[in-house]
Chain A
Amino acid sequence: MSDATTSQVPVKQDGTLAHIGYVLRSNPVTLLAFAMFAILLLAAVLGPVLAPYDPMESNAAIALQPPSPAHWFGTDNLGRDVFSRVIVATRLDLAISVAAVALSFLIGSILGSIAGYWGGWLDTVLNRLFDTIMAFPLFVLAMGIVAALGNTVENIVYATAVINIPFYARLVRAEVNIRRDAGFAQAAKLAGNSDVRVLALHIFPNALPPMMVQVSLNLGWAILNAAGLSFIGLGVRPPTAEWGIMVAEGANFIVSGEWWLAFFPGFALMFAVFTFNLLGDGLRDMVDPRQRS
């Protein structure tokens, strides 16, 4: 018995690395995004080693100097090196956003999966809960949460996570819902899987590709959100190096012509947000097995 199997040209099976290589090669924008992401990661991991000066060391003698070969991004009102501070701040800003996104991804996935798979009154209750969160202006809600819980970095993470949960939950709910009665879910039940296993091991992983896009967009928002909270004086407190605070402090000096204080941390923020926005499509292609053939 020979059918198509013999007449077909064999399809070469790609490994994960080869597949990632293909995704990067086929889309230059993805390659650029990953290069930018690598720069961010490098700054976050090696921050203090890379920084030419101690970010906390003030020196009144060289306060408010414009960018120069010695101080690439200039110095601030206390004479601290802005370049060093921008680099060192990367770790804190990335940590806050990654932790917040991981938390909302986890909680959102669980709640969304439950709502999408079992439906009924659970679905209704959870959806109204998400609607309630979405009904607030999200930044104001985050402000309220941080103000109520206390002014700490952990609370910024919790606040950022809470306001992002509905986005994940709704996306997962829709993705799970359309696959609830799919043939492979039924087949998994016939293979002796309980409902929870079918949901967690068969249906949920198939919702990952669109989730990756959401994650990367969300990382950008989360950074902006954390910086925004610091900007208005919530969360991280001076003299800690953090982009939001640096922009807030530098803003006072823009009118007097010392633009570099606010510009460079602001640029770092923009760079990070832009990187994460570009990253999404590439990440999705990498986790989707259907892209491999």
Chain B
Amino acid sequence: MSLLSIEVLKVSFSTRRGSVEAVRGISLNLEKGEVLGIVGESGSGKSVTSYALMRLLERNGRISGGKLTYGGIDLREARESTMRDLRGREISMIFQNPRAALNPIRKVGHQIEDVLRRHAKATRSSARAEAIKALEAVRIRDAQSRYNAYPFELSGGMCQRIVIAIALACDPKLLIADEPTTGLDITTQKAVMDLIAELIAERDMSAMVITHDLGLAAQYCNRLVVMKDGEVVEEGNPEALFSRPQHPYTRKLVDATPRPGASVRQLLPLDLRPPEPRLPKVEAPLLEVRGLTKTYQGKSGPVHAVKGISFDVGRGESVGLVGESGCGKSTTSSMLVRLLDPTSGEILFNGRDLAKSPAKGFARDPDRARIQMVFQDATDSFNPRHTARQSIAEPLARLTAIPKRERAKRIDELAELVGLPQPLLDRFPHQLSGGQKARVGIARAIAVDPQFLILDEPTAALDVSIQAIVLNLLVDLRTKLGISYLFVSHDLHVVRLLCDRVIVMRDGEIVEEGTAAEVMESPSHPYTRELLAAAPKPPVTVTAERSAAE
């Protein structure tokens, strides 16, 4: 008998517009010692499934049909007290955002003790020692002193280790990891996933890994289930799924996953691929950065966020700026877009030093319209009270002389250019999906015909299939409009698709610079090699070539 069996599970949510079925009759089995990957994009019902089986659905959610059995216990009918005993002791969960999952005002050691005491795995006198043991189990160095740390004192990766320590403290038989590495740096992601895989093997647990990243799931799971719109569309072992995807949706996902060798067009489904773009010829430098420095005054002395970097971006060129969180790439882009004043250095734009024009008054600078930015977090970057149309109209009204009557026409043109259907223009940001918000953000940035566009991880929060579409859109816009890009990202494999040249940053310094192909194929700096090695590797990469040959 399998450890966990889900039979025709249905979960529905009651909303303002009636009942919505998030999970529509899925059936799954999980054997002892198996690692099952559930892959799907946002809204596919993958997280809801896991919450349903922990019976942690939101108040308006309800299991409306099916059967959930764990080791002979009917989870749907079980009393709440039984569920409380099961959670943490038999079935544990690792959450998506480790910082939100930890209590911010309690020492991490105490939080581990809580779960140990709850399930009577430790007494008052032994709890501390047990908690330290749990910290050591997740390879936290110096566990004695980390015991007394608060979550805000720890990095994201460290917080996720604590969450894992809490989840595994009572030796559960089943571990559910819901997007365990989303929001973590790529090298941290690898470290955390390696740790989870190691602990699963060590303790002979079963696990369910829920992720949107097909490559990641394929690397760490024995079996994959692909979900779409609350249904299972395909199931199989990773190699089979990657090399012979049966369902068109699986094929679309496999195609959209960035992989070595594939061009940006090859991320799209075969029948929707436009011809390879003819990229504009790169001319003399548009932007020259010379000795750019930013130093903050911290509590314990100055913090050097950017330590004198220099680079050029040619007219019509696309340059990638790659690095992990804290490397100074966001500070650099804020300075270039003139929201932040550098401590020293020059930003020569068309030969004029913009660093001399202070950020405070740059809104009225003649070059304001020529440098624009697409923000990372599409949700945060829109005024919640403005419709998409109002958001796009804002720069047109402030920075151009287009009269009000013609503005509407220009907005319609922009919407068409970025592929946003007309009716969506009158929606508020919270009524748009992630991909639609990305389009609105791009339309707003290009509304005033900028010469230089900073793209700050514009696809980081998007599903892979939407990412593929947005990346292609950006390539098309570049060929059509001849805009120069600075693409800021943590993911070399995404940057490679869009950029001619790549700059790798670490600790406020440029460690490597070269053409995309050079950096990807023969990285000279050990840090670049580390970044490349940390990216998840899909088992086979023949799909693109296979489908090209078909």
A binding-site residues for B, Cβ under 8 Å? 1-5, 8, 10-13, 22, 26, 182-184, 186-195, 202, 205-206, 289-290, 292-293
B363 touches A193 (CB 8 A): yes
B472 at interface by CB-CB < 8 Å: yes
Instruction: Give the distance in Å from the alpha carbon of A191 to the alpha carbon of B386 in the complex.
Output: 14
Closest beta carbon of chain A to B483's beta carbon, Å: 15
CB distance from A108 to the nearest CB of B (A): 20
Which residues of B in the span 431-455 have a Cβ within 8 Å of any Cβ on A?
Answer: 431, 433, 435-436, 444-445
- On chain B, the residues within 8 Å of A184 by CB distance are 380-384
Which of chain A's residues have a CB closer than 8 A to the CB of B427? 11, 13
Shortest CB–CB separation between residue B470 and chain A, in angstroms? 9
A290 to B384, CA, bound (A): 7
Chain A: minimal CB distance from B401 (Å): 12
Provide the bound-state CA to CA distance between A191 and B368, in Å.
8
Neighbouring B residues of A182 by C-beta, 8 Å: 380
On whether the beta carbons of B430 and A290 are closer than 8 Å, the reply is: yes
Whether the pair B382, A187 counts as a contact (CB closer than 8 A) is: yes
Q: How far is the CB of A36 from chain B (nearest CB, A)?
A: 26
Closest Cβ neighbor of B472 among chain A residues: A1
- Residue of A1, A195, A206 near B469 (CB, 8 A) is A1
Q: List 24 A-B contacts (CB under 8 A).
A: A1-B469, A2-B272, A3-B465, A4-B435, A4-B436, A5-B433, A5-B436, A12-B17, A13-B427, A183-B382, A184-B380, A184-B381, A186-B339, A187-B394, A189-B362, A189-B363, A190-B372, A193-B363, A193-B394, A194-B363, A195-B363, A289-B385, A292-B431, A293-B430
Pick from B391, B430, B433, B473: contact of A1, CB under 8 Å:
B473
Residues of A within 8 A of B375 (CB): 183, 186-187
Q: Contacts A11-B427, A293-B430: A3 and B380 contacting too (C-beta < 8 A)? A: no
Q: Distance in Å from the Cβ of A181 to the closest Cβ of chain B?
A: 9
B398 to A193, Cβ gap below 8 A? yes
Shortest beta-carbon distance, A85 to chain B, in Å? 44
Asked whether, in the complex, the Cβ of A192 is within 8 Å of the Cβ of B395, the reply is yes
Identity of the chain A residue whose Cβ is nearest the Cβ of B435 in the assembled complex: A3
Complex contact A1–B272 (CB within 8 A): yes
* A206 adjacent to B383 (CB under 8 Å): yes
Which residues of the other chain, B, contact A10 by a CB distance below 8 angstroms?
423
Q: Which residue of A lies closest to B454 (CB)?
A: A190
A109 to chain B, nearest CB (A): 16
Type the 1/0 row for B468-487, where 1 means its CB is closer than 8 Å to any CB of A: 01001100000000000000
**A150 to B364 alpha-carbon distance, docked (Å):** 49
Chain A contacts for B469, CB-based, 8 A: 1, 3
| From A11, A188, A189, A205, contact of B431 by CB (8 A) | A11
Residues of A contacting B299 in the complex (Cβ-Cβ under 8 angstroms): none
> Once the chains are docked, how many angstroms separate the CA of A193 from the CA of B466?
31
A residues less than 8 Å from B436 (CB atoms): 4-5
Contacts of B430 in A (CB 8 A): 289-290, 293
Q: Which residues of A contact B444 (CB under 8 A)?
A: 187, 191
Q: CA A184 – CA B385 in complex, angstroms?
A: 11
A186 neighbours in B (Cβ, 8 Å): 339, 375, 381
Task: List B residues 370-405 near A (Cβ within 8 Å).
Answer: 372-373, 375-377, 380-385, 391, 394-395, 398-399
Write the nearest CB–CB distance from A145 to chain B, whole angstroms.
36
**List of A residues within 8 angstroms of B79 by Cβ:** none
Q: A183-B376, A187-B375, A205-B383 are in contact. List 20 more A-B contacts (CB 8 A).
A: A1-B469, A1-B472, A3-B469, A4-B433, A5-B421, A5-B433, A11-B427, A13-B431, A186-B375, A186-B381, A187-B382, A187-B391, A188-B383, A189-B362, A189-B363, A190-B337, A192-B363, A192-B395, A192-B399, A289-B430
Distance between Cα atoms of A202 and B398 in the complex (Å) = 14
Is B149's CB within 8 Å of the partner chain A?
A: no
Given contacts A290-B430, A293-B430, contact A190 B373 (CB under 8 A): yes
Chain A residues in 8 Å Cβ range of B423: 10
Residue B94 at the chain A interface, CB threshold 8 Å: no
Q: What are the residues of chain B within 8 A of A12 when measuring CB–CB?
A: 17
Residues of chain B within 8 A (CB-CB) of A290 are 384, 428, 430
Closest B residue to A290 by CB, please name it: B430
Chain B positions within 8 Å of A183 at CB level: 375-377, 380-382
**Beta-carbon contact of A1 and B364 below 8 Å:** no
The distance in angstroms between the C-alpha atoms of A206 and B429, with both chains bound, is: 14
Bound form: Cα–Cα A13–B432 in Å: 12
Partner of B433, one of A8, A187, A205: A8
CA distance A8 to B434 in the complex (A): 13
Of the candidates A8, A12, A187, A292, the one having the most CB atoms from chain B within 10 angstroms of its own CB is A187
Whether A192 touches B473, Cβ cut-off 8 Å, given contacts A13-B426, A184-B383, is no
Is B326 part of the contact surface with A, judged by Cβ < 8 Å?
Answer: no
Set of chain A residues within 8 Å of B360, measured between Cβ atoms:
195
- State whether B339 touches A190 (Cβ < 8 A): yes
CA distance A292 to B430 in the complex (A): 9
Interface string of B337-366 (1 = CB under 8 A from A): 101000000000000000000001011100
Complex-state Cα separation, A12 to B419, whole angstroms: 21
Q: Does B16 contact A (CB under 8 A)?
A: yes
**Distance (whole angstroms) from the CB of A5 to the closest CB of chain B:** 5
Residues of chain A within 8 A of B384, CB atoms compared = 184, 206, 289-290
Complex CA–CA separation, A205 to B384 (angstroms): 10
B192 lies within 8 A of chain A by Cβ: no
* Contacting residues, chain A, for B268 (C-beta < 8 A): 1
Does B221 reach chain A (CB closer than 8 Å)?
Answer: no
Q: Nearest chain-B residue to A188 (Cβ)?
A: B394
Q: B337 CB to closest chain A CB, in angstroms?
A: 7
Q: Does B424 contact A (CB under 8 A)?
A: yes
Closest to A208 in B: B385
Whether A189 contacts B339 in the complex (CB less than 8 A), given A1-B473, A4-B436, A194-B363, comes out as yes
List chain A residues, Cβ under 8 A from B505. Answer: none
A192 near B380 with CB under 8 A, answer no
Residues of chain A within 8 A (CB-CB) of B368 are 190, 192
B497 contacts the other chain (CB 8 A): no
List, in ascending order, chain B residues with CB within 8 A of A205's CB. 383, 385
Q: Does B369 contact A (CB under 8 A)?
A: yes
A5 contacts B380, CB within 8 Å?
no
Nearest chain A residue, comparing its CB with the CB of B272 = A1
CA distance A22 to B398 in the complex (A): 36
Q: A194 — which chain B residues lie within 8 A by C-beta?
A: 363-364
Q: Top 6 A-B pairs ranked by shortest CB distance?
A: A183-B381, A192-B398, A191-B395, A183-B380, A192-B399, A191-B394
Bound complex: CA A8 to CA B435 (Å): 12
Q: Which A residues touch B435, using CB under 8 A?
A: 3-5
